[in-house]
Amino acid sequence: MQDIWRLSAAELAGLIRSKKVSAKEAASAGLARLDAVNPKINAVIEHRPREVLAQAEAIDAAIARNEALGPLVGVPVTVKVNIDQAGFATTNGLKLQRDIIAQSNSPVIDNLRKAGAVILGRTNCPAFSYRWFTTNLVHGDTKNPRDASITPGGSSGGAGAAVAAGIGHIAHGTDIAGSIRYPAYVCGVHGLRPTVGRIAAFNAALPERTIGPQISAVSGPLARSIGDIRIALAAMSGKDARDPWWVPAPLEGPAMPKRAALCLQPDGLETSAEVKAAVADSGKRLQRAGWTVEEVASPPLREAADLQTKLWLGDGYEAQLAAAEREGDPGALACLRGNRAKVFPFDADAYSRALTRRATLTREWLQFFETYAVLLMPVSGELPFPDGLDMRDEASFARVWRAQLTQIAIPFMGLPGLTVSTGLVGKVPVGVQVVSGRYREDLCLLAGEAIEAGGTPPSPIDPVS
């Protein structure tokens, strides 16, 4: 069979389950695609073909023994270089961590393997996973396969670029301020930031995370179809006692009326005409699918974004800055220095106020989702940025952060958010963000499938310069 790598994860798993394609054939096709296009985009920064083929051969042997098969049986996937995979360095884009070799797998890796997935390779991220761009001093620059002049996104830029270019059928990413949703947006694929506690995560190779990341950072999937996002979410959501935040919430919640809120300029976000048009078009797609869509004002976002930035960067700011100075990464230093006035000092009193406000703002959002199943709003206030825009000057740095309001805010409440890619403006992708209440990824996906049905950019693609 030609071009196995083009298939959806669902299609490929079905073919492997029915023995029409072997897991080894799928892995070989994935490796060949990686070899063909990765040199142009540098999405995958480490892979071991022998180990990949060994994983696939073990799956074929299990199929031959008629053993129970998982939903991702034989499907090649990629994982981000900031989670533990036994025998690999958990670099998080850092020279400082290139010798930190994981002795065990993150729960995400274990759950993917239990679902039958083949781990194809590890994808790039910016240093410390700080930016909406992907470059670092240990693995180099990742390029957007749709247009090398625009960012591939960050921090899961390698994940977005890989899945858009057909390297793996699903990509793992992480998101504390947009790091799944933005790469999906700019690479023209889909990406789900799940509810905090939905997908278990833990890196035994690294120190325990501070409270901000514990209550806002998540792992989640990027893929070329919403159907594959749905399968990946189920596969990645398995129980793991190593994560004290994991919650045994059902993947399907109670039925709600198909009522969507739409907001083109949430909390005063400066939204470009092209982005407004994409969000409005998504609302029309939902209406055609039988949803009621009402244009409304969103609950507060700006305060949530400010507090999320403090919890993310302000907690231990001086230690983070010292580490960035040792690393010497210009982008990481620009991120920390550019936000210093917003986040430092962050003392115990400020910490307490932030966590107290979190309860108030989260309550307001949860009450909003008692009325509306989902909220449609921009992923970013702008079309995808020119690559490296945040490093150009102070005004450009401020522009980048200002446009990402909705991405930064949603994690403060721990809510799920789905990027649905809806089209191209020229050759630049555009899309919409779908948000719902806690553990209601099912509602995000239900709306996402209706929006997706109205058209998406062609995918996978061959990288272009």
Taking only the tens place, the pLDDT of each residue in 262-312 is: 999 999 999 999 999 999 999 999 999 999 999 999 999 999 999 999 999
Q: How far apart are CA 233 and CA 213, in angstroms?
A: 20
Q: Domain range spanning residue 174?
A: 7-452
Q: To the nearest whole percent, how much of the chain has pLDDT over 90?
A: 99
Q: Where are the alpha helices (DSSP H) in 134-268?
A: 157-164, 181-187, 211-214, 226-236
Q: Say if 460 falls within a structural domain.
A: no
Q: Say if 100 falls within a structural domain.
A: yes
Q: How far apart are CA 300 and CA 303, in angstroms?
A: 7
Q: Among 329, 337, 391, 322, which residue's Cα sits nearest to residue 95? A: 329
- For 149-173, what is each residue's pLDDT tens digit? 999 999 999 999 999 999 999 999 9
Q: Is the pLDDT of residue 100 over 80?
A: yes
- For 329-385, what is each residue's pLDDT tens digit? 999 999 999 999 999 999 999 999 999 999 999 999 999 999 999 999 999 999 999
pLDDT of residue 136: 98
Which class for 297: exposed (0-12), middle (13-18), buried (19 or more C-beta within 10 A)? exposed
The CATH number covering residue 318 comes to 3.90.1300.10
Count of alpha carbons within 13 angstroms of residue 13, beta-carbon side: 23
Q: Say if 2 falls within a structural domain.
A: no
Q: Say if 464 falls within a structural domain.
A: no
Q: How far apart are CA 4 and CA 327, in angstroms?
A: 40
Q: Among 427, 409, 292, which residue's Cα sits nearest to residue 361? A: 409
Count of alpha carbons within 13 angstroms of residue 157, beta-carbon side: 36
User: What is the pLDDT averaged over residues 193-209?
Assistant: 97
With residue 348 as reference, give the H or E element that holds it: helix 348-371
pLDDT of residue 347: 93
Q: Say if 463 falls within a structural domain.
A: no
Q: How far apart are CA 167 and CA 44, in angstroms?
A: 8
Q: Which amino acid is at 337?
A: R
pLDDT tier for residue 465 given thresholds of 50, 70 and 90: confident
Q: To the nearest whole percent, how much of the chain has pLDDT over 70?
A: 100
Q: How far apart are CA 284 and CA 276, in angstroms?
A: 12
Domain count along the chain: 1
Q: Say if 31 falls within a structural domain.
A: yes
Mean pLDDT of all residues in the chain? 97
pLDDT of residue 1: 61
Q: Say if 125 falls within a structural domain.
A: yes
| Under 8 Å between Cβ of 160 and 146 | no
Which residues are tagged catalytic?
80, 155, 179
| Under 8 Å between Cβ of 190 and 224 | yes
Q: Say if 458 falls within a structural domain.
A: no
Q: Is the pLDDT of residue 447 over 70?
A: yes
